[in-house]
Structure 1
């Protein structure tokens, strides 16, 4: 049996290419939200975090899922503020805090730009946000986000990166739903 058989070598040479094709940059999956009234798609396996944050002057439990794929960070966070009177101020404060973390102009929170995502299925309100700023190391960073409400639940879905992949961002935002 010869060591070199062209038809026997082809599968060995093709195997790495086939394996690479099976490892997409964005591997979309349903987000496990542990019973929260929220559905989302994530392009990678998300990490889970929970912390207390001040929203509308009250310490509130914030749930977050985030992951990195294709040079972008995808994040979904939500909190139940428990009182309808706190929804608007909590949402406004969250939008400003998001901009400040990006070292962007906090006035952008009041005037959503035309290109920002603006809809979330099932939300009573959804407001887009788009900004350019700097990350914690001072490197240029862009953000596209949407903040949404339903009842006393407030949600932020955001994509961060030096350059935003518009197709990936569209898939991410279209997969968000408050059923």
Structure 2
């Protein structure tokens, strides 16, 4: 439709602006939107573990004592929506040490949120976790405090296959079911 101005001249810019303005607003809105949980497939060359992460993780490697021996721990984590998502793994010299190392790891995770490590064996801290491809799986859930006395909840799964041990965890003041389900259901060892 072609419009005319008061002098009777055609106003092509008005018809253009009627169509262009909504498209520009839509394009601007789409570019301004960034989802809080931008789920993506995560893989590493140093482990067969596959996972879904809601943000681009940062990586770190450090030595830790697990299973009675110094062990290199590989960690990947990211923060989004007030939550921290973390994946970590280590390779033990002997698969027979995996149960002991996983027990120590669960205890250390509880100590990090100022809880008694012995709670790792308490039925109230367990949840029915599963990781396809893992030989051993144990879920751990707890509520504690951070180093600066803020409340924090943790849900984690500890698992092993052969001489590789793993932890996948989510930390936050509140743990939404939808994000927990997506994160933990995305774990697999092919």
Same fold by TM-score, threshold 0.5 exceeded? yes
In the alignment, what sits opposite 2:142? 131
In the alignment, what sits opposite 1:169? 180
Structure 2 CA distance for aligned equivalents of residues 8 and 85 of structure 1: 67
Structure 1 CA distance for aligned equivalents of residues 17 and 126 of structure 2: 56
2:59 to 26, 45, 48: 48
Structure 1 CA distance for aligned equivalents of residues 168 and 32 of structure 2: 29
> What secondary structure does 2:108 align onto?
helix
Deviation of the 1:68 alpha carbon: 0.9
In the alignment, what sits opposite 2:8? none
1:10 to 4, 17, 22: 22
1:90 to 91, 101, 104: 101
Q: What is the TM-score with the length of structure 1 in the denominator?
A: 0.90
In the alignment, what sits opposite 1:65? 76
> What secondary structure does 1:164 align onto?
coil
Judge which range, 12-21 or 131-140, deviates more.
Answer: 12-21
Structure 1 CA distance for aligned equivalents of residues 43 and 157 of structure 2: 19
> What secondary structure does 1:118 align onto?
coil
Residue 108 to residue 20, structure 1, CA distance change in 2 (3 Å): farther
1:24 to 20, 32, 35: 35
Greater radius of gyration (CA): 2
Judge which range, 41-50 or 98-107, deviates more.
Answer: 98-107
In the alignment, what sits opposite 2:155? 144
> What secondary structure does 2:47 align onto?
coil
Residue 140 to residue 11, structure 1, CA distance change in 2 (3 Å): same
In the alignment, what sits opposite 1:34? 45
Residue 15 to residue 117, structure 1, CA distance change in 2 (3 Å): farther
> Unpaired segments of 5 or more residues in structure 1?
none
Residue 142 to residue 114, structure 1, CA distance change in 2 (3 Å): closer
